[in-house]
């Protein structure tokens, strides 16, 4: 009996290993090849299918004849690649070469940062040989360096290492190529996954971009839909690159049939882009505005609280209070009462408008479109009549944290174009706004935030939320991230937006001593960044239902911790 059980266990283990090898055969094949030598092969799994552009003067089109090869660099010192195939391809036919830096000894499994090795020049010799021996003076060459860098998996050794690391490697590669093959075009090759622009190397280093429909890197992920129709899938990937005035190549994958990208699909997507070219896909997206941080903070930073229990709002340093409004509390008069109370206390007001409960108290799952269609005009008009009737500054924030891939709010995880239109309708509702009303765009600052950017003309401030807990299942306060870690990550994601920042929500849980220490460090970050013009602490427990079965975090702080934070902020 024991032998039989042992036999079954061994047999089961073999099946598991076989299943693993089958599932990751492509990945293992790449590792083995990269660890042995350099190699070149035809890339049949990722054909070049089409080319798009957000420049209205450029025509979107299906790709004609276009060869695609992949060069894998495993040996950093010895160039041992020959390819007569390339020499036989007519110079008039464009050639894309995807260059992958792997390194030796299967380093992808060891956690080595291949981006750092590129920057340090470890691959310089073979990159030079690639350029001079494989390409030479040939025209019509597009070099695509280390693709799909933004997908949070470990299929390639340059993934999972952050935007700045990747950008440094890409720029180093391009600088070398411009010396040896200046005629070659440089292609930035993300998959088009959420968070793509975090890895953008900059206009001066990119001649074209590419996206890959249903890329292999994404197939192992469960957090991003893999069942989008091709048209919507491609449109979302292109949308994430709308800030580029560059040609964008569309690559296929093993997950789609080549003929699924046809002239009908091209026309459909092209019409969608042109339809929204006045705002969403406007050439204004191509401008790289510089932020003059030295003139942003013209007075003391605003100190605010969301403090419904009135524990600290009477303290003298408090200059702004945070209120949440929806269609329901507009209708029953409770928002008017709360707003008047803040004004009477001599404070400015952050008004976060959450459009999820209609006047009957029912959630509206199609609220973005309904706002744009004017179905809530009466309620929005009521809101504006309240917030205009004061000399205090009102920071008006609409449909916040829209990019988080959950459904806590009905406006989250929605089509970004629908969100942008709704945001613009709401902020442009009143023909002329008094200078006291400041329009706030309020992403959480999570991956892909910029996908929902509504445009500089309807935004005065950007707000982000910073809470110590990176995951709601973490209950140990010592495992919380520092303010600096969270802020730097979110600031990087929004670095293309030239607006002052108001941190309208932040908080930390735990014993008073820990909270004080966390806030002291937070104050130092805020003090050193003049782009931050205001902070607002969330001084209560979070909403219980949002945290499932576990107790919601209590962000409340003591008066002592609050004043220590202010003391450090003033130094």
Burial class (CB in 10 A: 0-12, 13-18, 19+), 87: exposed
Instruction: Indicate if the alpha-carbon torsion angle 265, 268, 269, 274 is positive or negative.
Output: positive
Tally Cβ neighbours within 10 Å of residue 203: 13
Q: Residues 6 or more apart from 292 whose CB is under 8 A from it?
A: none
| Token reading at 185 | 């075009």
* Predicted local distance difference test score (pLDDT) of residue 292: 56
In the chain, the domains with their CATH numbers are 30-286 (3.20.20), 302-570 (3.20.20.80)
Count other Cβ atoms within 10 Å, centred on residue 238: 23
* More confident position, 249 or 551: 249
Beta bridge partners of 42: 69
Q: pLDDT per residue over 151-207, tens digit each?
A: 999 899 999 988 899 999 999 999 999 999 999 999 999 999 999 999 999 999 999
pLDDT digits (tens, 9 = 90+) for 32-64: 444 458 999 999 999 999 999 999 888 888 888
Share of the chain above pLDDT 90, in %: 69
pLDDT at 20: 43
Torsion, Cα of 499, 500, 504, 510 (10° steps): 120
d(CA 507, CA 464): 12
Whole-model pTM: value is 0.89
pLDDT band at 85 (very low <50, low <70, confident <90, very high): confident
Write out pLDDT tens, residues 268-327: 999 999 999 999 999 999 987 665 544 555 568 999 999 999 999 999 999 999 999 999
Nearest residue to 67 via CA among 164, 125, 138: 138
Contact yes or no for 200/206 (Cβ under 8 A):
yes
State how far the alpha carbon of 398 is from the alpha carbons of 261, 419, 426, in Å: 37, 10, 8
DSSP 279-302: TTT-GGGG--PPP-GGGT--SPPE
Rounded to whole angstroms, the Cα distance separating 548 from 482 reads 24
């Amino acid at each position: 009996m024991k032998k039989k059980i042992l036999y079954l266990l061994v047999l089961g283990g073999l099946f598991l290993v076989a299943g693993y090898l089958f599932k990751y055969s492509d990945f293992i094949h790449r590792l083995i090849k990269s660890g042995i030598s350099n190699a070149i092969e035809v890339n049949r799994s990722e054909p070049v299918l089409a080319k798009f552009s957000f420049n209205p003067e450029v025509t979107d089109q299906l790709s004609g004849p276009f060869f695609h090869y992949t060069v894998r660099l495993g040996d950093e010192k010895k160039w041992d690649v020959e390819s007569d195939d390339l020499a036989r391809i007519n110079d008039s036919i464009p050639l894309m070469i995807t260059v992958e830096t792997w390194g030796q000894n299967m380093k992808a499994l060891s956690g080595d940062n291949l981006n750092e090795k590129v920057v340090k020049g470890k691959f310089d010799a073979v990159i030079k040989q690639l350029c001079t021996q494989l390409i030479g003076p040939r025209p019509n060459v597009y070099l695509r360096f280390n693709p799909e860098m933004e997908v949070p998996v470990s299929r390639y050794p340059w993934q999972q290492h952050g935007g700045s690391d990747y950008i440094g490697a890409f720029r180093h590669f391009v600088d070398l190529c411009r010396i040896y093959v200046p005629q070659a075009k440089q292609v930035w090759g993300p998959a088009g996954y959420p968070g793509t622009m975090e890895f953008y190397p900059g206009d001066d280093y990119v001649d074209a971009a590419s996206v890959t429909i249903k890329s292999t890197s994404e197939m192992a992920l469960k957090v991003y839909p893999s069942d989008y129709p091709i048209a919507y899938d491609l449109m979302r990937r292109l949308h994430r690159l709308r800030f580029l005035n560059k040609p964008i190549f569309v690559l296929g994958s093993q997950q789609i049939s080549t003929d699924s990208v046809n002239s009908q699909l091209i026309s459909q997507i092209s019409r969608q882009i042109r339809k929204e070219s006045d705002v969403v896909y406007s050439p204004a997206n191509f401008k790289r505005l510089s932020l003059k941080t030295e003139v942003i903070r013209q007075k003391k930073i605003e100190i605010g609280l969301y403090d419904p229990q009135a524990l600290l709002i009477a303290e003298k340093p408090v200059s702004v209070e945070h209120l949440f409004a929806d269609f329901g509390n507009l209708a029953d008069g409770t928002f008017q009462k709360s707003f008047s109370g803040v004004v009477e206390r001599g404070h400015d007001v952050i008004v976060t408008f959450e459009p999820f409960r209609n006047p009957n108290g029912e959630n509206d799952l199609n609220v973005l479109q309904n706002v744009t269609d004017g179905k809530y005009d009466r309620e929005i008009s009521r809101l504006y009549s309240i917030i205009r009737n004061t000399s205090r500054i009102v920071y008006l924030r609409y449909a916040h944290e829209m990019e988080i891939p959950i459904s806590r709010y009905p406006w989250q995880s929605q089509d970004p174009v629908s969100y942008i239109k709704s945001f613009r309708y709401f902020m442009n509702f009143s023909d002329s706004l008094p200078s006291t009303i400041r329009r706030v765009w309020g992403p959480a600052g999570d991956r892909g935030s910029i996908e929902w950017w509504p445009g500089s003309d309807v935004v005065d401030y950007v707000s982000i939320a910073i809470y110590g807990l990176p995951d709601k299942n973490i209950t140990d306060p010592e495992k919380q991230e520092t303010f600096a870690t969270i802020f730097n990550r979110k600031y990087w994601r929004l670095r293309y937006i030239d607006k002052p920042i108001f941190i309208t929500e932040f908080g930390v849980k735990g014993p008073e001593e820990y909270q004080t220490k966390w806030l002291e460090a937070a104050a130092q970050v805020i003090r050193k960044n003049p782009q931050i013009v205001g902070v607002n602490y969330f001084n209560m427990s979070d909403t219980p239902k949002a945290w499932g079965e576990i107790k919601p975090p209590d962000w409340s702080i003591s008066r002592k911790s609050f004043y220590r934070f202010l003391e450090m902020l003033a130094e």
